[in-house]
Amino acid sequence: MLRGKTLLTFLLLFKMNTSWFVIATHLDFYKNVDKLLRDNFKYVQCCLLCLIEQVSDMAPQLTTKVVETFKIFIQQHGTSQADPRQLKSVGIQNVQTKNNGEYANLRGDMLLMLAFNEMVNSSSFKQRLVKRDFVEMLAHIIEICEERKSVQMDEFRRATFAVVESLSKHIKLLTLHQTTFLDKVLPALAGKIESETADVRFIALKVFTDYVTQYMCEEKIYQPQENN
């Protein structure tokens, strides 16, 4: 009973403020939700299904928020100001200081990229989140992420590449959205292989290779000819 109530509480928090999607990463929420998939208690399963369905409905809104924030971010030359309420959030501060402050300078809806990475690696949420508009968003960010130079942009680029790298491990998602990945993401990655920044060149080449390898091993997509 308590587990089910906890799920519904998080759902309410998600609807009240999308920052809770980010705070949930520090609490290992997405990993724990996956564990509940094996729970035999019917009430918990009903609450879990409700949570997953509602988050699925919210996914396009989350993607749109990141796209709009990124547009403003580019217009402001790679700097972004957070909501004062978010700056005071202990949960957000915990996320920012995690991993030795790797994403300490991310602000506002840019932080949702950290939640996306957790959701992509979650059995419960990955297929609900990864849709055509989500994949196109990632490709767009990768394509123009070096137009502005700032610490915030560097962190946001790393967070985005982390999501793209995580996706390379999920062949079912790559197959389901193969057209978008091949037409949008791979060209964006290829364009970064000659970047002036060594870190960008490395991660772009690595992820590009991961994607190509996955597709070449998938018979439905790539069918090698004899003697080739």
> DSSP for 75-140?
HTTS--PPPHHHHT-HHHHHHHHHHHHTTTT--GGGGHHHHHHHHHT-TTTHHHH--HHHHHHHHH
pTM of the model: 0.89
The count of C-alpha atoms lying within 13 angstroms of the C-alpha of 151, restricted to the half-sphere facing its C-beta, is 7
Q: How confident is the model at residue 86 (pLDDT cuts 50, 70, 90)?
A: low
> N- to C-terminal Cα distance for the chain?
59
Rounded Cα–Cα distance for residues 194 and 89 (Å): 39
pLDDT tens string 22-58 = 999 999 999 999 999 988 899 999 999 999 999 999 9
Q: Percentage of residues in the chain with pLDDT exceeding 90? A: 68
> Is 50 exceeded by the pLDDT of residue 79?
yes
> Is 90 exceeded by the pLDDT of residue 97?
no
Are 129 and 139 within 8 A, CB to CB? no
Least confident residue range of 72-86, 111-125, 154-168: 72-86
Q: How confident is the model at residue 142 (pLDDT cuts 50, 70, 90)?
A: very high
> Is 90 exceeded by the pLDDT of residue 16?
yes
60-216: CATH, from 1.10.3470, 3.40.50, 1.25.10, 1.10.860: 1.25.10
Are 156 and 146 within 8 A, CB to CB? no
Q: Give buried/exposed letters for 8-37 (b at 16+ CB in 10 A, else e).
A: eebbebbeeebbbbbbbbbeebbeebeebe
Q: How confident is the model at residue 101 (pLDDT cuts 50, 70, 90)?
A: confident
Are 125 and 151 within 8 A, CB to CB? no
Looking at residue 186, what DSSP letter applies?
A: H
pLDDT tens string 153-189 = 999 999 999 999 999 999 999 999 999 999 999 999 9
pLDDT averaged over every residue in the chain: 89
Looking at residue 150, what DSSP letter applies?
A: S
